[in-house]
């Protein structure tokens, strides 16, 4: 009897030891998956050991909030409610904690939430070290339009792997890739040339290939009216004379004022004789894109699909 009891106790201790050591590492995008308490992921600012299926999550990157929603993942969430895009409006509800302002982080609020994981966007990289002291923190960010599917896949497979939804994330990415190919095939046969414009409370900036909105040119194949536009985060400042000089066949407009506030919306800003003289205006091809997706959430599974469909609609698809 004593020998049997000793054997049972030894087995129990071994089980506890194995459970406590059930942590493994995996590189994001790896096909190797193991049951583990944590996983090491490579993000924009390094490597971080994060819990699998975290239960309490602070998310400042609305693209990744979009992906959590698309994958049906529902941890207890905290997020900056004041800037939530309209299509994610349900996250303004009382079931979700407010994590402060999108642009100015409230470290005390985040700390009091006691998160298991913090997801930051590229705009919040400067608070990475402070956030990492509170909980495991990963930093996502923008997408390089010259390697669009690579970046989109990296972010979304990372989230899928953390929350046990990697297969679902891959399936969604496959659909996005297939749709891109369909749209590009049509766009390449279209001779129309486009200009992408960001309006910001009356100010104008142009964006071209390789820019933050380069999905339109680099990925979907819409020809640029000016391939020499300076590639930069904030675009190239332009005046109304630029519209008349370039005479685009399509004008894609992202209204930042809708997102951050201001008194001059895009429609009023572009109500100008030089804009009206363009082929785009004459043919009804001034397209006001959804700023919630194009400016705030472009790296999510749902937002990527929405953006592609907005361009597809212009092509009659």
Question: In sequence order, what DSSP letters do the residues of the chain get, joined into one string?
Answer: -HHHHHHHHHHHHHHHHHHHT------TT-S-----SEEEEEETTEEEEEESS-SEEEE--HHHHHHHHHTT---EEEE-GGG--GGGGGGGSTTSEE-B-SSSB-HHHHHHH--SEEEE-GGGGGGHHHHHTTS-EEE-----GGGHHHHHHHHHHHHHHHTT-HHHHHHHHHHHHHHHHHHHHHHTT---EEEEEEEETTEEEEE-TTSTTTIIIIIT-PEES-TTPPP-TT-EE--HHHHHHH--SEEEEEEHHHHH--S--HHHHT-SHHHHTSHHHHTT-EEE--HIIIII-TTSHHHHHHHHHHHHHHTT-
Residues 166 and 47 in one domain: yes
Give the domain CATH number at 76. Answer: 3.40.50.1980
pLDDT in tens, 150-173: 999 999 999 999 999 999 999 999
Q: Is the pLDDT of residue 38 over 60?
A: yes
Residues 139 and 216 in one domain: no
**Domain end point (choices 146, 172, 198):** 172
Token duo for residue 60: 């400042």
Residues 309 and 241 in one domain: yes
Residues 44 and 116 in one domain: yes
Residues 203 and 154 in one domain: no
Q: Assess if residue 16 is contained within a domain.
A: no
pLDDT attached to residue 290: 94
Domain count within the chain: 2
pLDDT attached to residue 175: 98
Residues 128 and 233 in one domain: no
Residues 309 and 208 in one domain: yes
Q: Assess if residue 182 is contained within a domain.
A: no
Whose tokens are 């894109």? That residue is 289
Residues 293 and 194 in one domain: yes
Strand partners, 254: 198
pLDDT in tens, 90-100: 999 999 999 98
Q: Assess if residue 20 is contained within a domain.
A: no
Q: Is the pLDDT of residue 201 over 90?
A: no
Residues 199 and 226 in one domain: yes
- 44: domain range? 34-172
Who wins on pLDDT, 23 or 264? 264
pLDDT attached to residue 141: 79
Residues 109 and 207 in one domain: no
Q: What is the mean pLDDT of residues 285-299?
A: 92
pLDDT attached to residue 62: 93
Residues 238 and 208 in one domain: yes
């Amino acid at each position: 009897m004593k020998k049997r009891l000793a054997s049972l106790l030894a087995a129990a201790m071994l089980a506890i030891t194995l459970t406590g050591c059930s942590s493994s590492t995996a590189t994001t995008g790896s096909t190797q998956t193991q049951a583990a308490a944590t996983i090491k992921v490579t993000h924009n600012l390094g490597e971080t050991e994060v819990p699998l299926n975290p239960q309490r999550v602070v998310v400042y990157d609305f693209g990744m909030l979009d992906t959590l929603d698309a994958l049906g993942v529902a941890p207890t969430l905290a997020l900056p409610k004041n800037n939530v895009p309209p299509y994610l409006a349900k996250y303004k509800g009382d079931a979700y904690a407010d994590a402060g302002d999108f642009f100015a982080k409230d470290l005390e609020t985040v700390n009091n939430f006691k998160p298991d994981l913090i997801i930051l966007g590229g705009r919040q990289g400067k608070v990475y070290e402070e956030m990492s002291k509170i909980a495991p923190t990963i930093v996502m960010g923008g997408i390089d339009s010259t390697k669009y599917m690579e970046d989109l896949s990296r972010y979304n497979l990372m989230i899928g792997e953390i929350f046990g939804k990697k297969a679902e994330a891959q399936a969604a990415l496959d659909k996005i890739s297939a749709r891109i190919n369909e749209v590009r095939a049509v766009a390449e046969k279209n001779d129309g040339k486009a200009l992408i414009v960001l309006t910001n409370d009356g100010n104008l900036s142009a964006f071209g290939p390789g820019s933050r909105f380069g999905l339109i040119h680099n990925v979907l194949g819409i020809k640029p009216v000016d391939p020499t536009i300076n590639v930069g985060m904030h675009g190239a400042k332009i005046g109304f004379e630029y519209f008349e000089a370039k005479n685009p066949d399509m004008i894609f407009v992202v209204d930042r004022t809708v997102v951050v506030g201001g008194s001059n919306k895009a429609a009023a800003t572009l109500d100008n004789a030089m804009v009206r003289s363009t082929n785009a205006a004459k043919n009804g091809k001034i397209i006001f894109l959804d700023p919630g997706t194009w400016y705030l959430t472009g790296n999510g599974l749902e937002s990527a699909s929405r953006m592609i469909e907005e361009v597809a609609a212009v092509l009659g698809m």
